[in-house]
Structure 1
Amino acid sequence: MPAEATAAPLLETRSLTKEFRGFRAVSEVSLRVAEGTIHALVGPNGAGKTTLFNLLTGFLAPSSGQILFGGDDITGKQPEQIAHLGIARSFQITSLFDQMSLVDHLELALASPTGMGYRFWRSNAQLRRFRDRAMELLDEVGLGDRAGQAAGSLAYGQKRALELALALALDPRLLLLDEPTAGMGLEDVDRTIALVKKVAAGRTVVFVDHNMHVVGSLADTVTVLQSGQVLAEGTYEQVRNDERVITAYLGQAGDAHV
């Protein structure tokens, strides 16, 4: 993809490294994510994917190296600071309120960046100013017809869709998806692929996933990690036919079909 390769990256890491008591979980990783693309981070178990993802989202501080977003150094910033810059992370550990309706979740998420805070729990009228946008987001992820339902009543795949809507409430330039199809059956996986394609329009997406069907269906660029280092990078077809990648995945039961 020549045009993407020459474009200034929206997200970039430079020699990013994370050590835990002398063990290098991520080692000298230099990554460039072109704006407007979907970029996958993959690799066998223990490759450093989760650690790298946590570095990108501020849940871990790097031992050395840099993270740049839109050309600005964001190394070491906290997750909430990163969110305010236009980076949203979804599909982490579920943090929904089972008894709260879907639309109430979205209204609260939309109110949060305005500085209104939790005092507006007491004022439904003031939260209602976000109702139209909340409904638009629910429609975008296919949950508009369930707006009044309690989140606890949703099926697993629908809960993940709600989490995605909550991330989109931040109107992010960069959307980070952590294992978006983990634990899903085939039907939910295909539905999630279609949903991610839809919400990726006009945004940049970075995701981690073990499911190679998902990676092949979504990713413009795939970065393969092994032992904390970049092993290979390219299109899905390029990396799946790379002998180094094939060798790295041998014996990985969950990832055998690269």
Structure 2
Amino acid sequence: MGEGPAAGPHDAGSVPVLRARGLVREFRGFRAVDGVDLDVAEGSVHALVGPNGAGKTTLFNLLTGFLRPTAGSVVIDGHKELVGRTPEAISRLGLARSFQITSLFAELTPHQHLELALAGPTGLGWRFWRSDRALARFTAPAAELLARVGLAGHGDVPAGSLSYGRKRALELALALALDPKVLLLDEPTAGMGAEDVDRTIELVQEIRAGRTVVMVEHNMNVVASLADRVTVLQHGKVLVEGPYAEIRHDPRVITAYLGDSDVAR
């Protein structure tokens, strides 16, 4: 396991760019998220971890507007309330996400995916078929994004033919196309082999410059390599929070993971 990132922006004096207070989400009386408070420091990589059923994905969906909380508040930039806004409106405020399950158009190329993503905020949207010239302005930025995520040589093949790791890289590029201030990554290394995991770690380390990253992640080696701060969830509540080097030895965390070797080690 790596030594972890250097001391991050959660040092004294940092200002939360994303803040949740009292988040609750009930499903027919069951509280999947139960009174969660969360502060994410600007410029940090903040990991949400916990055993299966801890509420990580539900919390992620509350932060991004895909679920509406039963109670609570989510604020970006200190004053912009996100609760009640659509995911599209939230993305326009500077918060974008990737998904655990790939959701690409198999027949479109990575370059076409990115041209459409870049065109979205301009109002062109799916009117692209009216004029190829309308998308010409996005050709160079799309190529730059492809190069940034290691897909420079794969921009003109159908997305459906890409390997799993490259599909995840394309989804990350699509999120970056929105130029988010806060980027949320849902299980960015799920289902990857060791080589793709290492490549994804390097990629996140590169793209974190100038933005904040929040990620749900099961692979504790990834968390150790990337996260400045870690929030551990259990039964929908915050169990413990702190730097990885501290929480990995916390008896409560070890118990929550039932002796998982990645945590207890």
Task: Give TM-score, length-normalised by structure 1.
Answer: 0.95
- Mapped to 1, the partners of 2:49 and 2:102 lie a distance apart of 22
The 1:3–1:47 alpha-carbon spacing in structure 2 relative to 1, beyond 3 Å, is: closer
Separation in 2 of the partners of 1:120 and 1:75? 32
Return the offset for 1:3.
5.5
* CA distance in structure 1 between the partners assigned to 2:200 and 2:207 by the alignment: 10
| Deviation sequence 1:74-105 (CA, Å, 0-9, x none) | 11211111111111101342221111111111
1: CA distance between counterparts of 2:64 and 2:91? Answer: 8
Report Cα offsets for 1:152-203 as digits up to 9, x if no partner.
Answer: 1211000000000000000000000000000111111111111111111111
Residues 1-258 of structure 1: pairs in structure 2 closer than 5 A: 4-71=11-78, 72-250=80-258, 255-258=260-263
Please tell me whether the aligned partners of residues 43 and 224 of structure 1 are also in contact (alpha carbons under 8 angstroms).
yes
Displacement of 1:144 in angstroms is 1.1
Residue of structure 1 equivalent to 2:4: none
- Give me the whole-angstrom Cα distance separating, in 1, the residues matched to 2:224 and 2:15: 24
Asked whether the 8 Å contact 1:91–1:164 carries over to 2, the reply is no
3-state SS of 2:137 partner? helix
Q: Secondary structure at the match of 1:13?
A: strand
Measured after TM superposition, the shift of residue 5 of structure 1 is: 4.4
CA distance in 2, matches of 1:197, 1:169: 17
Identify unmatched segments of 5+ residues in structure 2.
1-6
8 Å CA contact 1:5–1:34 kept in 2: the answer is no
Letter in 1 for 2:248: R
Provide structure 1 residue ranges, at least 5 long, that are not aligned to the other structure: none
In the TM superposition, what is the alpha-carbon distance from 1:14 to its structure 2 partner?
0.6
Whichever residue aligns with residue 101 of structure 1, its letter is: T
Residues 200-242 of structure 1: CA deviation (Å, up to 9, x unaligned): 1111000001110111111000000011110001111100011
Q: Post-superposition shift, 1:38?
A: 0.1
Q: State how far apart, in whole Å, the 2-side matches of 1:42 and 1:180 are.
A: 13
Secondary structure of the corresponding residue to residue 164 of structure 1: helix
Post-superposition offset of 1:48: 0.6
Change over 3 Å in CA distance of 1:202–1:105 after alignment to 2: same
* TM-score using structure 2 length: 0.93
**Per the alignment, do residues 108 and 37 of structure 1 end up closer, same or farther by CA in structure 2, a change over 3 Å counting?**
same
Deviation, structure 1 residue 257: 1.5
SS at match of 2:138: helix
Q: How many pairs does the alignment contain?
A: 255
Where does structure 1 differ by over 6 angstroms across 4 or more consecutive aligned residues? none
Of 176-185 and 18-27, more deviation after overlay is shown by 18-27
Quote the Cα distance in structure 1 between the aligned partners of 2:50 and 2:62. Answer: 17
SS at match of 1:4: coil
